Chains A and B, each alone.
Chain A
Amino acid sequence: MSDSNLVSTSSDTEVATSEQFSDPGVPEHKLRLGDTDPKAAKRSERIVIALFGLSILGTIGMMAAYFGLPQDTSIAGVRIQNLTLGLGLGFALLGIGLGAIHWAKSLMSDHEVVEERHSVESSPEARAEAIQKLQDGVADAGVARRGVLKGAAISAVALFPLSFAVPLIGEIGADWNISKFRHTVWRRGVRLATDPTNRPIKASEVTIGSAYHVIPYAEDIDEEVRPGSHAWLDEKAKAIVLMVRMEPNELKEEDDRKDWSYEGIVAYSKVCTHVGCPVALYERQTHHLLCPCHQSTFDMADGAKVVFGPAKRPLPQLPITVDSEGYLVAQSDFTEPVGPSFWERLK
């Protein structure tokens, strides 16, 4: 391509007066070794052939691994299989890719080509014609004269999506009964059981300093929400509890909650009041409970109040006591909704 094709900012004669540099044009083309030396070209060709050959070997290797390796479903066996299949596939693909690229780079023309850009917009004539056509169309339809018809058409089209949207919105949230957030399966007398083995816990076995992951004992809750049912997951998501025991004198308790604990045993919802992760990391010395998701830290000795992190509210406390056999039981459900805040939480 000659420079005359290029639109440079100024021509040479203008330079002196316009104080502008002139575009030197596309840099000179440099020849590659292969352009002048047939031997180099031949070498490049052999490399390309070798790369395509590598690809064929890769495919063969993959086939060999697929048919040749015994079906071994242990973790180690699956790893070996995965490795060999992956290497085979990888080389099959890389061979083709690198081969094609090397071919293009070393053997195809590397002369740069210049192409004019045309402005994207349509020409004024085309625009005028387009507008005219639209106007003709509008005139043909006679919308301007038929106001009521226009209104009717627009209303009909605007209304019909309702027949799609209403059933969808009606059904998509199941019963839309959001008051379910407020209740869990804990009730008066439901025993505290270990998670996940579901064994009721006696107060006497809980040593000082220990922490228990707790769920409601299966026998004490309705059959349709017991472990094994699907509803159980929904209920478990709200009902999980973390129970710890400390020296009763280490507990700071509000007056109206003094009887919510039992001899230094306290139970709190394990659902973080931030955005709902299970709060699971208990540090025995500090009585701090840490949420691994965003590190909200709750002080189990002081009403599970937040001592650090993005949560605002303390974890809700489950009032507990013991039954006649010495099993730890709930006195009631939580007295406030568990988990993350929502708009109508306090309503």
Chain B
Amino acid sequence: MTAAPAKTQSSAPTTKAGKAADYLDQRTGIGVAVKEFARKVFPDHWSFMLGEIALYSFIVLILSGIFLTMFFVPSMGLTTYHGPVATMDGTQMSEAFASTLRLSFEVRGGLLMRQIHHWAALIFVAAMVVHMLRIFFTGAFRKPREINWVVGFLLLVLGLLAGFSGYSLPDDVLSGNGLRITDGVVKSIPIIGSYMSYMIFGGEFPGSDIIPRLFTVHVLIVPALILALVAVHLVLVVVHKHTQYPGGGRTDKNVVGFPLFPVYTAKAGGFFFVVFGVLALMGGTLSINNVWNYGPYDPSPVSAGAQPDWYMLFLEGSLRLMPGQTEYVIGGYTLSLNVLVPAAIIPGLLFVFLALYPFIESWVTKDTQPRSVLDRPRNVPTRTGLGVAFITAFVVLVLAGSNDLIATHFHMSINTITWVFRFAFFIAPVLAFWVTKRICLGLQRKDRELVLHGHEHGRIVRTEAGEYFEVHKPLNEQERWLRVNYEAHAPLALDEQPYHEDGTKNRKYRSAKLRSALSRFFYEDRIEPVTLAELEAAHHHEPHEIADGSDESRQQLS
């Protein structure tokens, strides 16, 4: 293998690059790292770029964010506006809002950076979500990658926090109302809610502390945490080596792909510029968050049809769906379940399910092997069904968060739509689970069919005896291997008794029972891959089948 010039020259280097490398290596020992990493193998697949999109948009966020910090004033001090935006002339507003106007109108390229920053934020979160779905549906979270799943999950939560804190900074009417909703939600927390509200706002809403506080959260705390976790995330990817899709020659013990240098460096580095370039074009052509149309924050006005950024819509929808009857007064204290359930408990459950999923699945599977070959989603029907059910619940909430737009667009009553979504939130995920699982099982059966009987050829042949049959072309080795090389897990047997032999209660029984019940839920319906014996038996029954798809045999038959 050719090596980068930086390494392994034991004799004195002669070229300039060689000398520089020698200088560095004598002081850092970098040669070992280069030797280790330069030709590290990465498998290739379009879905592996999703994480890259997230990473690159984060870098774009940092770059454009640094530009914004040069001009943005994180202060709620009041000022009277005199500037190019005629409609705002003489209006009292916070320094934060005034500086956002200045950024947009008077700093050349400022609006571009604001818009790139905002689009990058939307894409950043979206890419993380889709990346996470890829990991989920292909089982890339299995041993040894469970911890990295949790790291990724934390990154998603931090991404939401980053987006929310940034969205609030310009101190316009929309973001101010968002903060007010936050205040209302915080106040609903039992016992400490009012104090939490005071803690966040430094007194009563809106106060004069929240923007500077959010600024520190937004440009220091959250980005620093994200950066640290991204580092952990990537180090773990290198330690584990990337997963790969199933196929010939790909096993849990190897990795098949292209070397980091030069192919992957060029592709990944190039891809960074593509992501940045696309975001720049978006910032240049698609306007977003035109705060001068909303005006500075004022507690009184509000506009119908205003939407938060997409990743907050599910919370909005969840708040909208909950019927108000569920606020209770207990012993004189107010318990606002109408706010707590939709804003904290339901999102909490969804997020806990996400965070814990790898551990749940490994518990009911009792799989202790490291797994680096990905699952085809159809081969794990229950997991795939659960994933689709999760997405469905999320989408129902997002749609509910836009129910006013749906109502005006389709001329329907908002009450009807709300009722439909209330039911849909419970029914649609169950349906989605069931349908997805059936589809997966169907696809698995189809795979079996293909392996056993080959591709349909579309040609009917008549035998000498006068029988008609359709010619099938058997799969080639690679096609077949893809379809037979998976493990169909069986449910775990219940191996504990309720009582010990001496009649005492067996403490492990209940958990073992739950485990085997869950395991049955996961693996009861399963389709085993075709075995060689089955394939041979199938061939035996179909003596007329052509042996392979070569032209020669085709001619014989046609």
* Residues of A participating in the B interface, judged by any CB pair closer than 8 Å: 3, 5-9, 15-16, 19-21, 23-27, 66, 71, 73-75, 78-79, 81-87, 89-101, 103-105, 108-110, 112-117, 119-120, 169, 172-176, 178, 180-181, 195-196, 213, 215, 228, 230, 233-234, 236-238, 240, 270, 272, 274-278, 280-281, 292-296, 306, 308-313, 339-347
A236 to B325, CA, bound (A): 29
Interface status of B309 (Cβ within 8 A of chain A): no
A to B contact number (C-beta, < 8 Å): 348
A90-B281, A115-B256, A173-B198 known, 18 other contacts, Cβ within 8 Å: A6-B251, A19-B531, A24-B478, A84-B284, A86-B280, A86-B281, A86-B285, A92-B277, A97-B272, A97-B275, A233-B206, A233-B299, A274-B184, A278-B301, A309-B324, A310-B322, A310-B342, A343-B194
Interface status of B499 (Cβ within 8 A of chain A): no
12 chain-A/chain-B pairs, Cβ below 8 angstroms: A87-B281, A93-B277, A100-B270, A103-B266, A114-B255, A117-B252, A237-B180, A280-B301, A310-B322, A310-B324, A342-B188, A346-B334
A153 to B423, CA, bound (A): 58
B187–A342 touching, CB < 8 Å: yes
B109–A25 touching, CB < 8 Å: no
Which A residues are in CB contact (< 8 Å) with B372?
117
B254–A342 touching, CB < 8 Å: no
A109 to B203, CA, bound (A): 63
Which A residues are in CB contact (< 8 Å) with B106?
73
B278–A113 touching, CB < 8 Å: no
Given A113-B39, A113-B257, A117-B252, A341 contacting B204 (CB threshold 8 A):
no
Chain A's closest residue to B267 (CB) is A104
Given A119-B370, A277-B181, A310-B338, A66 contacting B109 (CB threshold 8 A):
yes
Return the contact of A228 from the options B92, B276, B342 (Cβ within 8 A): B92
A281 to B306, CA, bound (A): 13
Given A82-B112, A85-B112, A342 contacting B194 (CB threshold 8 A):
yes
| Distance between B161 CB and nearest chain A CB, rounded to angstroms | 18
B205–A234 touching, CB < 8 Å: yes
Which A residues are in CB contact (< 8 Å) with B41?
113-115
Interface residues of B in 288-317 (CB under 8 A from A): 292, 297-306, 316
Interface residues of B in 112-144 (CB under 8 A from A): 112, 115-116, 144
Interface status of B224 (Cβ within 8 A of chain A): no
Chain B's closest residue to A242 (CB) is B300
Return the contact of B403 from the options A101, A114, A277, A295 (Cβ within 8 A): A295
Which B residues are in CB contact (< 8 Å) with A24?
248-249, 477-478, 481
B278–A94 touching, CB < 8 Å: yes
A237 to B203, CA, bound (A): 13
B104–A21 touching, CB < 8 Å: no
Interface residues of B in 230-287 (CB under 8 A from A): 239-241, 247-259, 262-264, 266-267, 269-278, 280-281, 283-285, 287
Chain B's closest residue to A84 (CB) is B284
* Residues of B participating in the A interface, judged by any CB pair closer than 8 Å: 39-41, 76-78, 83-85, 92, 104-106, 108-109, 111-112, 115-116, 144, 177, 180-181, 183-185, 187-195, 197-199, 202-208, 239-241, 247-259, 262-264, 266-267, 269-278, 280-281, 283-285, 287, 292, 297-306, 316, 319-327, 329, 332-336, 338-339, 342-343, 370, 372, 403-404, 414-415, 418, 477-478, 480-481, 484-485, 531-533
Return the contact of A108 from the options B241, B262, B272 (Cβ within 8 A): B262
Chain A's closest residue to B329 (CB) is A346
Return the contact of A343 from the options B104, B115, B272, B333 (Cβ within 8 A): B333
A312–B404 touching, CB < 8 Å: no
A281 to B271, CA, bound (A): 48
A234 to B58, CA, bound (A): 35
Chain A's closest residue to B202 (CB) is A174
B532–A280 touching, CB < 8 Å: no
Which B residues are in CB contact (< 8 Å) with A173?
195, 198-199, 202-203
A345 to B480, CA, bound (A): 68
Which A residues are in CB contact (< 8 Å) with B191?
343
Chain A's closest residue to B339 (CB) is A275
Which A residues are in CB contact (< 8 Å) with B195?
173, 176, 178
A175 to B320, CA, bound (A): 34
A294–B320 touching, CB < 8 Å: yes
Chain B's closest residue to A213 (CB) is B300
Which B residues are in CB contact (< 8 Å) with A78?
104-105, 111
Which B residues are in CB contact (< 8 Å) with A237?
180, 204-206, 299
A275–B319 touching, CB < 8 Å: yes
Chain A's closest residue to B177 (CB) is A277
